[in-house]
Amino acid sequence: MSERLLTEEILEVLRKAPSVALFSHVSPDGDCLGSMLALGLALETMGKKVTFFNPDRVPMALAFLPGSDRIRQTLPDPRPQVLVFVDCTDLRRVSLTSDYFGDSIIINIDHHISNQKFGHYNWINDQASACAEICLTLLKQLGIALNREIATNLYTGIVTDSGCFQYSNTTAHTHRLTAELIETGLDLASIHYQLFDQKPLAQVKLLQAALNSLELYADGQLAVMTLTLENFRQSGADQELSEGLVNHARSIKGVEVAVLLKEVGAQEIKSGFRSNVWFDVNKAASQFGGGGHKRAAGCTFKVSLIEAKQQVISVIEEGLILGRHR
């Protein structure tokens, strides 16, 4: 199916739907929440009944997003006719199985190259800097006028997933879309203050623990940091406060790949992979059942922290060696 035909069919489904439920992924970030909220608030202007679901609570840093207080951790009941999944590579990212679908129509909107295309309609654009780019395009095609609330959510999605427009996924199209959002009268200073200039002391202490664990491998091309459950306990930080810490390792001169491994439970390790120039971390993460983007990906291990670290180092070191000899 061509993208034009796919878009038209998605628009038709949304126009006809009396009610819509929107879903976003576990460990929510600015893009998944901003995209979900923007789309839902926009659909309400069309007279739709809208519900919002995320398996986890909204992080403190994102509680300023318009509509965030309406996000629930309980599934909509009764189940709406149309279910829209935003920024979700697969159903595991929403802690769901296909049993929940019933006869509902599934729309899957995402920008991850590793998306499993689990919907009846799958709008996947891995060239977009953020899922918010796709959602903005969708809203424009629905003819919905942007207001500050919708624009604040979309801008947050783009600015966070593009790394403040510094990641390689930022394009001229990204900037053009962002300009449209700014023209609604966004309070940019307030948004950036909420997102980037308000760090709890617990997060700073967690960063200290992560930096204390920092080790370099592969002649300085691979940087690995680890966080244990004890680190979280001692710092007083929740798991959500580890978001973005991996970029401190990525910024070290000479590092191509940075990894953060964090202990979230017994024999359960979550990882974040980042790369700078050429290494495809999506391929590395896929070897462990994860995925994401070429420069940002992740996965979960059901082993000890030590074992997970050994496995990651082995795979990435091999990839770095092969890459150098191409």
> Is the same domain home to 265 and 164?
no
Q: Which single residue is written with the structure tokens 């700014």?
A: 182
Domain boundary among 146, 175, 196: 196
Residue 7 backbone dihedrals phi, psi, to 5 degrees:
-60, -45
Residue 141 is encoded by which pair of tokens? 């095609």
Residues 44 and 164 in one domain: yes
Rounded to whole angstroms, how far apart are CA atoms 282 and 284? 5
Domain count, the chain: 2
**pLDDT score at 323:** 79
Q: Are 118 and 100 in contact (CB under 8 A)?
A: no
Q: Where do we find the tokens 């948004």?
A: 191
82 shares a domain with 39: yes
- Asked whether residue 105 falls in the same domain as residue 183, the answer is yes
One domain, residues 86 and 217: no
Give Cα separations from 8 to 5, 12, 14, 218, 233 (angstroms).
Answer: 5, 6, 10, 49, 50
Alpha helices in the chain (DSSP H): 3-16, 30-44, 131-142, 148-161, 172-182, 188-196, 201-212, 229-235, 246-250, 281-286, 305-324
Bridge partners, 269 (sequence order): 263, 301
* Shared domain check, 176 and 82: yes
Residues 210 and 178 in one domain: no
pLDDT in tens, 156-175: 999 999 999 999 899 999 99
Same domain, 80 and 149: yes
Q: Looking at the structure, tell me whether residues 148 and 263 fall in a common domain.
A: no
Is the four-CA dihedral 315, 318, 322, 325 of positive or negative sign?
Answer: positive
The contacts of residue 256 (CB under 8 Å, 6+ apart) are: 221, 222, 275, 276, 277, 278, 279, 320
Encode 251-270 in three state secondary structure: CCCCCCEEEEEEEEECCEEE
Same domain, 141 and 112: yes
pTM metric for this prediction: 0.91
In order along its 326 residues, the chain shows pLDDT tens digits of 777 889 999 999 999 999 999 999 999 999 999 999 999 999 999 999 999 999 999 999 999 999 999 999 999 999 999 999 999 999 999 999 888 999 999 999 999 999 999 999 999 999 999 999 999 999 999 999 999 999 999 999 999 999 999 998 999 999 999 999 999 999 999 999 999 999 999 999 999 999 999 999 999 999 999 999 999 999 999 999 999 999 999 999 999 999 999 999 999 999 999 999 999 999 999 999 999 999 999 999 999 999 999 999 999 999 999 876 44
Residues 236, 161 share a domain: no
pLDDT of residue 98: 86
Q: Are 155 and 189 in contact (CB under 8 A)?
A: no
pLDDT at 4: 82
Whether 64 and 58 have beta carbons less than 8 Å apart is answered as no
What is the predicted pLDDT for the residue at 324? 63
pLDDT tens-digit profile of 31-89?
Answer: 999 999 999 999 999 999 999 999 999 999 999 999 999 999 999 999 999 999 999 99
Strand 268-275 with 257-265, pairing: antiparallel
Q: Are residues 132 and 169 in the same domain?
A: yes
Domain that holds residue 255: 201-324
What's the CATH number where 315 sits? 3.10.310.30
